Structures are given as structure tokens and as C-alpha cells.
Chain A
Amino acid sequence: MSSNDRGAPYMSPYLAGVGIGVVLLVTYVVMGHGLGVSGALTSVVGTAATSLSNAPVLPAWEGYAASSSRGLLGDWFVVEVIGIVLGGLLSAALAGRLRPDTERGERVTVNRRLVFAVGGGAIMGIGARLAKGCTSGQAITGGSLLSVGSWIFIVAAFAAAYLVAPLVRREWR
């Protein structure tokens, strides 16, 4: 039984992993590619930056700024990420885990937690663009398709996370 501060107990991680593996497999069979999240966020940033400033597409946004007549809602990965949000919402609602909250250590202020969240998120954003993917696009998708670069990504990400973890350990006390 997993520890859980609210709602129903969590599903077995092995069962959830099989579920995600089957979702990946269905995506390969139907679409011929896997899942991804950071690419969709890049499409959002690229489209916004390009249209707001009316500027030419930066090299970093090429292939990401929405070109379809439907705009961002015609982007496969953007629609998939909207699905992820809806799926998370559905699961949390069914388990009684839907509640406004800022999750943090007992002695950590809300502001401090949010600064770490924004800062860590920004660092991840840079790393994901350099690596051409994140946990979904590189680790799970590329990992299961046996891509060498994706396995390098997995090992490098875990190694760095374990190196940095002792520095931020008190954030969760």
C-alpha cells in the first residue's frame, strides 16, 4: 500500500507502468511515433514568440511554430498534452485527490516552493531542448525503442538528479 496524504490509495506502480507501456505501444502501432511533452511546450512557446513579436521564426522554433490552419490545436503533441491534463484530472477526481494545494515540506514556505518549481522547471526546459526530448519523448519512448541517445539521456538524468538531491533534501522535510 502506498502512502498518500489524500484520497484513495495509489495503483501498483508496476500495473501503472504496464498501462503506460500499452499506451505507448498503441501510439507506435497507430501513429508510427511515440509520446512527448517538451516538444508540445516548445510549439506553444515558438508559436507565441513568433506571433506576438511578428518576428521571423527563430532557428530554435523551426518545425515547432504552428503551421497548420488549426493553429496549435492542429498540433498532435499539443492535443496529446491537453489529453494528459484531462486524464490526470479524471483520475484524481475519481480517487478523491482533487484539491487546491501547494505541495511542499512542512517547514518550507509556499513562495520558496514556487521559486524552486519555476527555477527547476526552467533548468529542465533548457536541458530538454538540448537533449531533444524529456522523460516521455526520450526516456520512455526512445528507451523502449532502444535508442542509444535516449539511454544516454536516462543515465545522465538519473546521475545528475542523485548528485543534486542531497542539496535540496530539506525542501521535503
Chain B
Amino acid sequence: MAMNAPLYETGALTGGGALAVALGVGVAFGFFLERAGLGSARKLSAQFRLTDLTVLKVMFTAIVTASLGVFWLSRLGALDLARVYVPETYLLPQLVGGAIFGGGLVIAGLCPGTACVSAATGRFDGVAVIGGLLVGILAYGAMHPIVERLAMATPRGTFTLPQLLGAPHGATVLLVVLTALAAFRGAEWLEARRVVDR
């Protein structure tokens, strides 16, 4: 079977078509985030009070579903994985940036995507988080000359877990699936013994 995806990369899709796809996948993404209750800062931040682990369940189910799909589609020859862009690894910036991001997340109660959903449902705190994000991004632009060395430190290019572990793609996906299943079991156990979150 000939590899015929990604469609945009193989030239099967025009620029206008790509924008229609952007709108469509955006609508579906926002829809599922709101359906799960992640337009609510109280529910999202309860992940970090360990009283409602919806964030972990949604995030890891999405990761497991997509990583299994990517593995099988490329295995069956339907998707050319070499033409799918994998976010590049910068060890130190992603460690430090991730920590700053996590601290901000628990203060704001929403992440960038869920802030958009929260704002869409009529919540002013969601609008305020988006405003704060714009301010932070502007501030980062101003201080970029100072932090540029940190931002570009320890580049590893496209660096994946199979490369790190020296394991086959399928075995790594299986490891992610098993880790997620263990995390789901732990999450259900924690929620079953929770005290009322008030």
C-alpha cells in the first residue's frame, strides 16, 4: 500500500482546505474539552488538590489513543511518520519552561486551550487568563535577548522515547499504554476516597 498521508504534505490539500481543517479540528477539540468539564477552573485545578483527576484521565487517554493510532497507521503503511512534525527537544528550556508553566497553571486554574473554552462558556476568569497569557507572551518577547541562551540551550532536535530507550516504537507505545492504565487505576482509587472538595 502506498503511503498517502499526511495529505497536506503530499500536496493533496490546498491552503484554503488546510484552514477549513483547522476550523474543523478546533471545533471538535473545544467541544470535547467542554464536554469533559475542562472549561471549569474549579474542576481543572481539582487535579492538583487530588479531588478530581479529570485532567489526567482526559490527557492520558488522548495521548494513548493518538499514539496507538500513529503506530498502527504507520505500521500498516497508511501514514508516513517521517513527514509528521515531532516537536523538537530542548532539554533545559522544556524542564524550566514546563515548571514555570505548571506553576502558572495552578494559579490561573486553566491552561491556554481550556481558558479559550472557559471564556467561550461565558466565564470572565477564562477571559482574564487569556489576557494574562497575552501579557506574558509580550513580556517574554521583551526579555527574549536576556533568556535567549537558556531558550536555545541543550538542543536535541527530533528526539523520541524509542531513541532514548533504544526500544522499538511498538514497545514504547505499549509502555505508555501500561503507564496510563496504572495512572487511571491510581486516579480512580484516589477519587473513591476523596473528601468533598469545598
Contact = CB atoms under 8 A, between A and B. Distances in A.
Contacts of B136: 121-126, 128-129
Interface string B147-163: 11011000010111111
B161 A59 contact: no
Contacts of A84: 26-27, 29-30, 33, 113, 116-117, 120
Given A13-B57, A145-B87, A83 B129 contact: no
A66 interface: no
Nearest to A142: B87
Nearest to B160: A146
B35 A76 contact: no
A41 B112 contact: yes
Nearest to A106: B198
Contacts of B126: 117
A131 B177 CA distance: 25
Interface in A75-104: 76-77, 79-92, 95, 97-104
A88 B34 contact: yes
A87 B160 CA distance: 32
Interface string B25-42: 111111111111101111
B31 to A, nearest CB: 4
A161 B105 CA distance: 7
A164 B103 contact: yes
Contact of A130 (B60, B97, B122): B97
A124 to B, nearest CB: 3
A83 B22 contact: yes
B83 interface: yes
Contacts of B115: 121
Given A28-B66, A37-B113, A149-B89, A11 B132 contact: no
Interface string A136-173: 11111111111111111111111111111100110111
Interface string B1-32: 00001111100010100110111111111111
Sorting the interface of chain B by its residue count into under 10, 10 to 19, 20 to 34 or 35 or more gives 35 or more
B64 A128 contact: no
Interface string A50-93: 00000000111100000000000110110111111111111110
Given A29-B5, A126-B139, A149-B89, A85 B30 contact: yes
A140 B32 contact: no
B135 interface: yes
Contact of B62 (A20, A104, A117, A120): A20
Interface in B82-105: 83-91, 93-105
A103 B40 contact: yes
Contacts of A85: 26, 30, 116-117, 119-120
Interface centre among B19, B65, B103, B151, by most chain A C-beta atoms within 10 angstroms, is B103
A146 B67 contact: yes
Given A80-B22, A103-B123, A117-B128, A164 B106 contact: yes
Given A83-B29, A84-B113, 17 more contacts: A32-B83, A41-B133, A41-B137, A46-B141, A87-B28, A97-B121, A120-B107, A120-B109, A121-B131, A123-B100, A126-B137, A127-B100, A144-B63, A156-B97, A157-B105, A172-B42, A172-B197
Interface of B: 5-9, 13, 15, 18-19, 21-37, 39-43, 45-49, 52, 54, 57-67, 69-70, 73, 78-79, 83-91, 93-126, 128-142, 144-145, 147-148, 150-151, 156, 158-164, 169, 172-173, 176, 184, 197-198
